[in-house]
Amino acid sequence: MNPKSTELNHYPLFSKKDLIAQYSEWLESRKDVWDLFAATAVFNAGGRNSNSARWCDEYKHKVLWKIKKRLAHSYTNLIPFEDFFYYEFEQSSLFKSAAEGRKPHHVHGIIPIPKNLTHKIWDSNTGCLTLRIQKDFKSIKTLSSILLEPIRTGKLSDWLSYSSKGKPFYQT
């Protein structure tokens, strides 16, 4: 055995595509417990502290906080993981005009909601967010817009690929 070799050298390295497939498989295996929502939160830039840490904090402590508050006032840990999101600023869609030049600070995320509480944020009769959560989101001064909708069956891998485009899986 080579003395410079480590045990880690004996394990295969997974590609991003493999990781996306494994995350998708695991998340979809929990569909009896959670409804998965795709979120895109776009922020008003403002003049102070316009860096990734600020917008990630806004997402976690304002957007997710409003959702958790709407789900249940007295319970914690209703959203089993809150760090499955990606911040973007420089990246833009291939479908946007380069002449537009507008690159807002935004965050893409996946939010698992316990099935028995989904009705508190999503009205299945109208196919949109409940009026109460819409009002809650409007009260966030730094939030320009938000798109929050259920991830369609079989489309989780597509959303993971889109939201993590051009970025490593684990941001620092």
Q: How far apart are the C-alpha atoms of 72 and 75, rounded to whole Å?
A: 6
What is the pLDDT, as a whole number, of residue 127?
Answer: 95
The 10s digit of each residue's pLDDT in 11-64 is 666 777 888 888 889 888 999 999 999 999 999 876 666 788 899 999 999 999
What's the pTM value of the predicted model, to 2 decimals?
Answer: 0.80
Among 150, 151, 156, smallest CA distance to 128 is for: 150
Mean pLDDT along residues 69-94: 76
Query: Strand (E) positions, 44-155?
Result: 85-88, 106-114, 122-123, 128-129, 143-150
**Res. 171: pLDDT tops 60:** no
